[in-house]
Amino acid sequence: MATKSVSILAVLRAEIIDGTIPVGTRLKEEAIASRFGVSRVPIRETLLQLESEGFIRTEKYKGATVSARSQQDVLELMQVRRGLEVLAATLAAEAHGGDQVDHLRAVVERGRRAGDAGAVDDLPPLILEFHQAVARAAGNAELARMLDGLLQRIAWGFELDIEDRIDTSWADHAAIATAILGGSPVQAGYLMDEHIRKDEQIYRRQSH
């Protein structure tokens, strides 16, 4: 995609995720092109990418609208995510953290401090940053790209009750980081699997 298309994609994706553009909203090429001061060509590219990521659907005669999120869709994404995150943690541990050693240590420490301070609003971006760092530590660019898209789509699908999980969540992250930095692939994969399963269980409870 062209640079302009990529930046428009990032803006629209973020607005869908945070609810600025609600479910069911029609996305008209002409209106979006006017908003960003571009032709309809990069907008068409952007909408195709958003559709491939599951954020919008295109129907004959109706055009593009923001997709509804079903419980089943989110659960399926979380199951795929778990498999990829376990792989990422395993590869990261085989590489002893790769080029993310300092980053992993730093984000775990920032998360621990935020948890201790009860700074709940600071935790979601730190959680995302931790999981992205693990993916990059795996040394597999395709895996990191796939996980980044999945994490964004899952964040759009639900929000964890973070206040109830501050202590256990960052204890999990610290343990995973320790296993990765210590070069223990089996342990890192197991701990990541258990960590992600907790998210799935919480989502199932919240959805009933």
Half-sphere exposure of 181 (CA within 13 A, CB side): 15
Most confident residue range from 63-67, 130-134, 145-149? 130-134
* Spatial contact of 33 and 133, defined as CB atoms under 8 Å apart: no
Could you please report the per-residue DSSP string of 140-177?
A: -HHHHHHHHHHHHHHHHH----GGGGHHHHHHHHHHHH
CA–chain centroid gap for 161, Å, is: 16
160 pLDDT higher than 60: no
| pLDDT value of position 87 | 97
120 pLDDT higher than 90: no
For residue 96, give every residue at least 6 positions away whose Cβ sits within 8 Å of its Cβ, in sequence order, or none: 180, 181, 182, 183
* Spatial contact of 98 and 53, defined as CB atoms under 8 Å apart: no
Q: What is the amino acid identity at position 172?
A: D
| pLDDT value of position 1 | 59
163 pLDDT higher than 60: no
167 pLDDT higher than 70: no
| pLDDT value of position 170 | 82
Which runs of consecutive H residues, i.e. helices, occur in the chain?
3-17, 29-36, 40-52, 71-94, 101-116, 123-137, 141-157, 166-181, 185-206
92 pLDDT higher than 80: yes
Instruction: Please compute the mean of the pLDDT values over residues 183-207 and round it to a whole number.
Output: 89
Domains and CATH numbers, the chain: 3-66 (1.10.10.10), 71-206 (1.20.120.530)
Please state, in angstroms and rounded to a whole number, the distance separating the CA atoms of residues 118 and 64: 41
Percentage, residues of the chain above pLDDT 90: 49
In the DSSP assignment, the letter for residue 65 is: E
207 pLDDT higher than 90: no
162 pLDDT higher than 60: no
159 pLDDT higher than 90: no
7 pLDDT higher than 80: yes
Phi, psi of 113 (to 5 degrees): -65, -40
117 pLDDT higher than 70: yes
Model confidence over 40-72: pLDDT tens digits?
999 999 999 898 888 898 888 788 999 877 778
Q: In which band, very low, low, confident or very high, does the pLDDT at 85 lie, cut at 50, 70 and 90?
A: very high
